[in-house]
A = this chain, B = another copy of it.
Amino acid sequence: MSYVRETSAGYLTNWAARLFARAIERRLAGGSSGPMPVFFALQDGGAMTQKELALLAAVEQPTMANTLNRMERDGLVARTPDPNDRRSARVSLTPLGRERARAAFVSAIEVNGLATDALEPEEREVFYGMMRRIIAALERDSGTE
């Protein structure tokens, strides 16, 4: 028993991440947590290319392509051809997309609150700091940064 999951950072993190996603999706009833990073990035009316969105969301390009396809299908984003580069399109939120973004933020804030209520107030910044350091370490390992 050299390996105990209760003290495996990866196991605990993966477990928590699934619970976070489920909690948000339960509140959105139909909506899902995948578009969240796109909502983040475009919330105040901006437009970005798919590549920029993938970078910001820290997902691979095909993952973002699929997410945007679903969002476009559901009327949440619009793609307008980039006049300067015919390979690219500028992605922006539709009015429906902005509405869903607001709803998603409400749910996310609620779930984050519920989770961080399990921490002492002074522990919360510590938690964010630890997470950011772990993320930085794992990105260094992947050489992707």
Contact = CB atoms under 8 A, between A and B. Distances in A.
Interface of A: 1-3, 5-24, 26, 33, 36-37, 40, 43-44, 58-59, 105, 108-109, 111-112, 114-119, 123, 126-128, 130-139, 141-142
Contacts of A115: 9-10, 134, 137-138
Report how many copies the assembly holds: 2
A44 to B, nearest CB: 7
DSSP class of A's interface residues: helix, strand, loop or mixed? helix
A7 B124 CA distance: 9
Given A10-B112, A128-B12, A138 B19 contact: yes
B133 A23 contact: no
Contacts of A135: 12, 15-16, 19
Nearest to A139: B19
B11 A13 contact: no
B119 A130 contact: yes
B142 A22 contact: yes
Contacts of A7: 128
